[in-house]
Amino acid sequence: MKPSTQLVVTGCAGFIGSHLTDRLLDSGYRVIGVDNFDSFYPRSIKERNLSGALTHPNFTFIEADIRDSEWLTKLDADVDAVIHIAAKAGVRPSIEQPADYISTNIAGTNNLLAWMQQRGIGKMVFASSSSVYGNNEKIPFSETDSVEQPISPYAFTKRACELLTHNYHHLYGMGIVNLRFFTVYGERQRPDLAIHKFVRMMAADQPIPMFGKGDTSRDYTYVGDTVAGIMAALTYLDANPTTYDIINLGNHSPVTLQTLVSTLYRLMDKTPQIQYLPMQPGDVDRTYADVSRAADLLGYKPRVSLEEGLSRFVAWYKTTYL
């Protein structure tokens, strides 16, 4: 898409959304950002995430909830595409509040798609999740694998949205790219996520809770690589405006929990203190992305190693919180 194109970015004040918004503005796009400052974590964190964008002349901010379609009826700007990042996040909280996740993630997404169809806006990049693979026994996880056995309400809502976007593609010819994110980390990461929580506890000399034996693994993907993948998806969608695709955005390099914790202790220059606890319901054993489709269609290639990405996160955390 050409610079000066106007995009809607939902969830613009969150972790991934704020990094994406900054990158889009730096690249010359005009951005209408939408966020409701969900109370899942403090509003002040999201306001800090958004502080740079709010001073940019090509940025317009709307504080709104995607479950409420009233704001959409008042949005009369010319929009070329929607990048839909907003969602109720977190696997474990979704088990406690499934109705909230269904309402926000599915009904909210339908509100956006219905508005797009009414306005003739034909392109969406949707933020899906590796959680849709559940405890897939085949590795690495490929887009052609069965994803019909989600093990958390959060995972179910993300898979449901992939099916929902297919409906709008089939019925109205919309171009949709669903990107399955794999354990994104980096500066501005949500405080509830493992890396942020571990570093916070290490800084306070508190023992780290390790669920299971530490042999579960995740395909940790640095946020800059994820954002690069989203940007590439926009370009791909511009060249293929009626496509429907599902594409993994991972690092193709899973790391065990034990290795992650050990690396963080070393980077924090702290003596390990670990509290072993039982596995939590809803948690998958591993994630491992096959990124060959992303490479073929998007030219995607993750560039930031775990060591480098964690070093950047630790430096950011110390500057921000210590």
What is the C-alpha to C-alpha distance for residues 142 and 133, in angstroms, rounded to an integer?
Answer: 9
Residue 150, CA distances (Å) to 135, 179, 281 in order: 8, 17, 12
Query: Catalytic annotation on 154?
Result: yes
- Positive or negative: CA dihedral 40, 47, 6, 20: negative
Q: Are 136 and 128 in contact (CB under 8 A)?
A: no
Q: Are 83 and 66 in contact (CB under 8 A)?
A: no
Residue 171: exposed, middle, or buried by beta-carbon count in 10 A (0-12, 13-18, 19+)?
exposed
Catalytic residue among 154, 185, 236, 317: 154
Residue 264, CA distances (Å) to 58, 88, 199, 321 in order: 38, 28, 7, 16
- Positive or negative: CA dihedral 186, 189, 194, 198: positive
What is the C-alpha to C-alpha distance for residues 247 and 125, in angstroms, rounded to an integer?
Answer: 11
Residue given tokens 């220059």 in the structure block: 269
- Active-site residue list: 154
